[in-house]
Structure 1
Amino acid sequence: MVTLNTSYLSQNRGIIKILQIIAGFAISILFCGGWTKSGCFGWGQIGYATTLNSIVTIINIVLFFLNFLDAKFWRLERVYSIICCILFLIAAALMVWFLIVEQHDYRAPSVIGTILLFFQFILYLWDVKILQGEAWN
């Protein structure tokens, strides 16, 4: 029997997951909005950031609904959050490198998207802290 965990929406983990999904859509809109010549899933730093973001956003939507349906995958989610934390830090660092060294053009979509990549890193770091019992849920 499947039960709904409506308290998940008021817990820190539920709010974090919602913010991760919203930030994921915002990053997709900013990076895939046509300001690059290589397209959304092109080569290089932008391609890495957009591909990572798209895959993780889809997984986050699935995990959100599984948690809302009261499925418990804490160990799997902890490993997933640690991996995503590292990958988003790499993506943010690559985008900073791309903006400063290669592009020299600081348009708002690229800067805001890079800031959102760092925001995703912080959200995943917070989620890891909660899943390890170091922060309050």
Structure 2
Amino acid sequence: MIDHMSIAVADAERSKRFYEMTLKPLGMRCLTEMPEDGGGAYGFGVEGGGEFWVVHSDDVGKDMHVAFRAETRAQVDAFYDAAIAAGGRDHGKPGLRPDYGPNYYAAFVYDPDGVNIEAVCYAEE
């Protein structure tokens, strides 16, 4: 089980704004702010703790993928729409991905640093 994870970003404030909009449909919000921490660090999650962190780095890696679990297909759709509205780039519109498994409904977007983020729902409808 994963307790938390972080990704390196070039501009923590920009990424904070992006992920605030993008993760809201999944019920996540910024819970911890450390703007002075070496250029900024922000923790997102549900009440109880930061599960996903964006942290400023001068060495931003592009080989990163993060998948967020959605409870409904409507949340996947809302995640995609919010990410695009926040400045993300399309990497796969919402839809079924039968090659990944039965009922695998997902959407993929590149964040401002080129990180491939996904929302996935396993519900039948």
TM-score w.r.t. length of structure 2: 0.32
The higher radius of gyration belongs to 1
TM score, norm. by length of structure 1: 0.30
